[in-house]
A and B are shown apart, each in its own frame.
Chain A
Amino acid sequence: AQSVTQLGSHVSVSEGALVLLRCNYSSSVPPYLFWYVQYPNQGLQLLLKYTTGATLVKGINGFEAEFKKSETSFHLTKPSAHMSDAAEYFCAVSDRDTGNQFYFGTGTSLTVIP
């Protein structure tokens, strides 16, 4: 089964600073890769996904992520943090061949300091 690791359960950044949230997956065959965001009392909302093609993908709210096969990583970045980015962020993967279930990381809680 897939394993997804998100380093850092809590990340704090200053407003305007770079946001970097880390995600690594375990499989030797690159899966489909997703980042979701969860605001308080809301469901998970897709930020971006990688399925094929260009390895740098852009998502909503100025976020982007780069798939690096050699590092089995899909880190999420945003050049300049905004107060409204404070939320829980989840990395998820699904196998290309075996099914539709998503495997999630433990999540990273992002705090933005004014």
Chain B
Amino acid sequence: EPEVTQTPSHQVTQMGQEVILRCVPISNHLYFYWYRQILGQKVEFLVSFYNNEISEKSEIFDDQFSVERPDGSNFTLKIRSTKLEDSAMYFCASSGGRVRGSNEQFFGPGTRLTVL
């Protein structure tokens, strides 16, 4: 069964460093997403990506964040200068996107980012 994969599973970085979180969505999907979950809090939407551009983003997704689909398979989230409060589990998801809002989003296992 096709699945979303994410690497690495755990990333430890120093405050102020850049990190890139990587995701391989399901191959025939059209929409791609990043969510994050700070320990003990809700899963929060960061950004959605469609047709090689951002389609929606939340207030959390400020100038420190960027997304890219550098090739036909990978979808990356970059944090330019990490802060302590960026420590969280980051989930990538993808969906087929046939009917707006109603499609199941398939989630990866997450990358746990720890900023020291």
Contacts and interface: CB of A to CB of B under 8 A. Distances in A.
Chain B: interface size category? 20 to 34
A32 B101 CA distance: 7
Pick the most buried of A36, A41, A96, A100: most chain B CB atoms within 10 A of its CB: A100
Chain A: interface size category? 20 to 34
Interface string A6-24: 0000000000000000000
Contact of A99 (B56, B105, B109): B56
Interface string A41-85: 111111001010000000000000000000000000000000000
Interface string B38-51: 00011111001000
Interface string A92-113: 1011111111111111000000
Contacts, number: 74
Pick the most buried of B58, B91, B103, B105: most chain A CB atoms within 10 A of its CB: B105
A34 B48 contact: no
